[in-house]
């Protein structure tokens, strides 16, 4: 199947009991057994639920993986991945990282003896110099949040394979519409499904997708044992959202390009961060591993003053000032005080995240209205 057909049909089937086209919400905690251990594949909904199974199968198909696992949030999915490690193990990650990922790494798992090293990954060849005998995992975001840096997934996979370490790619910003990291050599793909995959700002969920059966079984054990699983109602909403992923992403990309080009020419804008520009340091890699460049854009105003950025954010009408991203509506945010506030200022500045940076999640509204909103907010 082509991608657009996959979003609608892959992993889902008419309900065998009624013929219902949409996967039912199996709102049950437990299942009848004919004899102890003799059941129809379902015994307790923390372990398995038919609505969740359909969603996990659909996600695996979209990412060209073999196994999908869903969690109650993106953070719960990250938590499960790090639980593959043990004290003394090391993780190398990008220094431009979502604040929630940084927080769980440094505030939760570091105290249990897992070491995290954050480095620039624009030149993937430099990563190898940081690998030690204790390094067990590379953790990538690409595009990164919020600086929209691009990391070479294929190059990272070659390094990971050489040193027998796991390569994890957070694919939240791109979605499988734009890139499929497993095809480029990644071992594991992570999503905050809350964002583009759900697409309607009405559900919180995370997912992991893998090809390897042994890795899938290890993660499934953690998923069941630790219990951070989503309910069937949320899984139903995600299945609904996936069916329009391809058409939504097409519009996000179209609007994102128009907004980026408009902002690049605006007299009050110092810098626009968007991988679609030829001036982007890793634009060529983006062209090679992505199908388009997405609807996430970050902006630094001239003068680089936080108060100017906040004033603009307060004046928006259609770009709603709110956490999160990837919904059909346009959102704006101030990472330094919102999504990345958990990262110390010195670390943020060292990674290139200034206090004046504005992050835009460009929605699927009429582009003329979005550009007019930008014009009035920038003054």
Taking only the tens place, the pLDDT of each residue in 336-371 is 888 787 788 888 877 788 888 999 999 999 999 999
3-state secondary structure of 30: strand
pLDDT of amino acid 341: 79
Catalytic, 212? Answer no
Arithmetic mean of pLDDT over the chain? 96
Q: Are residues 184 and 257 in the same domain?
A: no
C-alpha distances out from residue 29 to 32, 65, 203, Å:
11, 28, 20
- pTM, 2 dp: 0.95
pLDDT in tens, 253-301: 999 999 999 999 999 999 999 999 999 999 999 999 999 999 999 999 9
pLDDT of amino acid 344: 82
Catalytic, 195? Answer yes
Q: Is 102 within 8 Å of 254 (Cβ atoms)? A: no
3-state secondary structure of 152: coil
Question: Range of 126's domain?
Answer: 3-240
As a whole number of angstroms, the distance between CA 64 and CA 180 comes to: 7
Q: Are residues 50 and 180 in the same domain?
A: yes
Q: Are residues 211 and 337 in the same domain?
A: no
**Mean pLDDT, residues 81-94 taken together:** 98
As a whole number of angstroms, the distance between CA 324 and CA 361 comes to: 9
Indicate which residue of 96, 152, 170, 373 is catalytic: 170
Torsion over CA: 277, 281, 287, 291 (sign): negative
For residue 74, give both structure tokens: 């993106």
pLDDT in tens, 165-224: 999 999 999 999 999 999 999 999 999 999 999 999 999 999 999 999 999 999 999 999
Which residues, 6+ apart, have CB-to-CB distance to 82 below 8 Å? 91, 104, 105, 109, 114
Number of H helices, E strands in the chain: 13, 12
| Main-chain dihedrals φ then ψ at residue 119, nearest 5 degrees | -135, 155
pLDDT of amino acid 182: 98
pLDDT in tens, 14-54: 998 899 999 999 999 999 999 999 999 999 999 999 999 99
Q: Are residues 85 and 224 in the same domain?
A: yes
pLDDT of amino acid 376: 97
CATH of the domain at 120: 3.40.640.10
| Residue where a domain stops, chosen among 211, 240, 269 | 240
Catalytic, 98? Answer yes
Q: Is 168 within 8 Å of 138 (Cβ atoms)? A: yes
Q: Are residues 252 and 191 in the same domain?
A: no
Pairing mode of beta strands 206-210, 188-192: antiparallel
| CB-CB neighbours of 36 under 10 Å | 6
| Residue where a domain stops, chosen among 182, 210, 240 | 240
Percent helix, strand, coil in the chain, to 5, is 40, 15, 45
Can you list the pairs that 280-283 forms with residues at least 24 positions away whose Cβ atoms lie under 8 Å? Answer: 280/148, 280/150, 281/122, 281/149, 281/150, 282/122, 282/149, 282/150, 282/151, 282/152, 283/150
pLDDT band at 149 (very low <50, low <70, confident <90, very high): very high
The total number of structural domains that make up the chain: 2
Q: Are residues 360 and 330 in the same domain?
A: yes
Q: Are residues 179 and 132 in the same domain?
A: yes
Q: Are residues 231 and 268 in the same domain?
A: no
Q: Are residues 130 and 94 in the same domain?
A: yes
Catalytic, 170? Answer yes
As a whole number of angstroms, the distance between CA 309 and CA 112 comes to: 38
Indicate which residue of 46, 240, 271, 291 is catalytic: 46
Indicate which residue of 67, 98, 102, 196 is catalytic: 98
Indicate which residue of 195, 211, 257, 359 is catalytic: 195
| Residue where a domain stops, chosen among 240, 272, 290 | 240
Q: Are residues 47 and 139 in the same domain?
A: yes
Q: Are residues 42 and 77 in the same domain?
A: yes
Which of 101-110, 133-142, 333-342 has the lowest average pLDDT?
Answer: 333-342
Which uninterrupted H or E stretch holds 360? Answer: strand 358-361
CATH of the domain at 287: 3.90.1150.10
Q: In the sheet that 320-321 helps form, which strands lie side by side, from edge to edge?
A: 269-273, 296-301, 358-361, 331-333, 320-321
Residue with tokens 């989503």: 230
Q: Are residues 224 and 342 in the same domain?
A: no
Q: Is 65 within 8 Å of 211 (Cβ atoms)? A: yes
pLDDT of amino acid 336: 86
């Amino acid at each position: 199947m082509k991608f657009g057909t996959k979003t609608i049909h892959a992993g889902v089937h008419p309900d065998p009991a009624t013929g219902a086209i949409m996967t039912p919400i199996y709102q049950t905690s437990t299942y009848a057994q004919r004899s102890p251990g003799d059941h129809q594949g379902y015994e307790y909904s923390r372990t398995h639920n038919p609505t969740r199974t359909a969603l996990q199968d659909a996600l695996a198909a979209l990412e060209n993986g073999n196994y999908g696992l869903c969690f109650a949030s993106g953070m719960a999915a990250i938590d499960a991945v790090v639980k593959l490690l043990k004290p003394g193990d090391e993780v190398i990650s990008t220094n431009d990282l979502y604040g929630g990922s940084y927080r769980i790494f440094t505030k939760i798992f570091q105290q249990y003896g897992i070491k995290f090293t954050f480095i620039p990954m624009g030149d993937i060849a430099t990563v190898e110099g940081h690998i030690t005998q204790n390094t067990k995992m590379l953790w990538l975001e690409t595009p990164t949040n919020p600086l929209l840096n691009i990391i070479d997934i294929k190059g990272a996979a070659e390094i990971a394979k050489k040193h027998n370490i796991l390569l994890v790619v957070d694919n939240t910003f791109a979605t499988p519409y734009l890139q499929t990291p497993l095809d480029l050599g990644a071992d594991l793909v992570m999503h905050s499904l809350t964002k583009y995959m759900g697409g309607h700002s009405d559900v919180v969920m995370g997912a992991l997708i893998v090809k390897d059966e042994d890795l899938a079984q290890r993660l499934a054990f953690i998923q069941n044992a630790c219990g951070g699983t989503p309910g069937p109602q949320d899984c139903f909403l995600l299945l609904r959202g996936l069916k329009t992923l391809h058409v939504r992403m097409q519009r996000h990309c179209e609007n994102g390009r128009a907004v980026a080009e408009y902002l690049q020419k605006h007299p009050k804008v110092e810098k626009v961060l968007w991988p679609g520009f030829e001036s982007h340091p890793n634009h060529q890699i983006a062209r090679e591993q992505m199908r388009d460049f997405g609807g996430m854009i970050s902006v630094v105003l001239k003068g680089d003053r936080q108060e100017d950025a906040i004033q603009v954010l307060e004046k928006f009408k259609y770009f709603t000032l709110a956490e999160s991203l990837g919904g059909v509506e346009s959102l704006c945010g101030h990472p330094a005080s919102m999504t990345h506030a958990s990262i110390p200022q010195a670390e943020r500045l060292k990674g290139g995240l200034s206090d004046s940076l504005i992050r835009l999640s460009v929605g699927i509204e009429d582009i003329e209205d979005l550009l007019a909103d930008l014009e009035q907010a920038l003054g």
